[in-house]
């Protein structure tokens, strides 16, 4: 996550835009500088107590974890599997993903690329051509 991005955390009627920079890069773990941020929140909103901050931290970690999990779906996870030599798992992952998201052009392209790279060019070109119709429809 780029450091200038934020996540939205709700605590009762309070809506907080939290900077992603308070997390260890690529994880849902809070970094050392996050304590400064939460101290600032308690000063800005004096009705927040330590228990409230604990709940806000837990919520922020859950939201960040959900964002990370979401980013590991589709093409990105398939390429990780492929790069680890798990070709069939990568293909199966994409095929399963495409059942739920059949108009994901990136997933179709990635499927085609993987198929071509393992020597199944005809299937790969068909997947790429199928995905072309979805480019620009996001």
Q: What is the mean pLDDT of residues 69-95?
A: 90
Question: Can you give the CATH number for the domain in which 79 is found?
Answer: 1.25.40.10
Query: Which domain range does residue 107 map to?
Result: 74-132
Task: Report CA 76 to chain centroid distance, whole Å.
Answer: 9
Split into its structural domains, the chain has a count of 2
Report pLDDT digits (tens) over 31-68: 999 999 999 999 999 999 999 999 999 999 999 998 88
Q: What is the mean pLDDT of residues 74-85?
A: 92
Question: So what's the pLDDT on residue 13?
Answer: 95
Report pLDDT digits (tens) over 103-135: 889 999 999 999 999 999 999 999 999 999 987
- Identify whether the C-beta of residue 22 lies closer than 8 Å to the C-beta of residue 34: yes
| 79, 121: one domain | yes
Q: Is residue 7 over pLDDT 60?
A: yes
């Amino acid at each position: 996550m780029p450091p200038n991005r934020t996540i939205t955390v709700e605590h009762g009627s309070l809506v907080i835009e939290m900077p992603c920079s308070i997390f260890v890069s690529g994880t849902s773990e809070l970094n050392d500088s996050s304590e400064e941020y939460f101290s600032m929140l308690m000063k800005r909103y004096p009705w927040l107590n330590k228990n409230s901050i604990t709940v806000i931290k837990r919520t922020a970690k859950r939201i960040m974890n959900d964002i990370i999990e979401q980013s590991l779906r589709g093409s990105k996870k398939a390429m990780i599997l492929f790069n680890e030599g798990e070709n069939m798992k990568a293909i199966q992952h994409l095929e399963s993903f495409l059942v739920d998201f059949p108009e994901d052009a990136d997933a179709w392209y990635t499927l085609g690329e993987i198929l071509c790279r393992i020597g199944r060019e005809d299937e790969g070109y068909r997947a790429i051509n199928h995905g072309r119709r979805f480019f620009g429809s996001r």
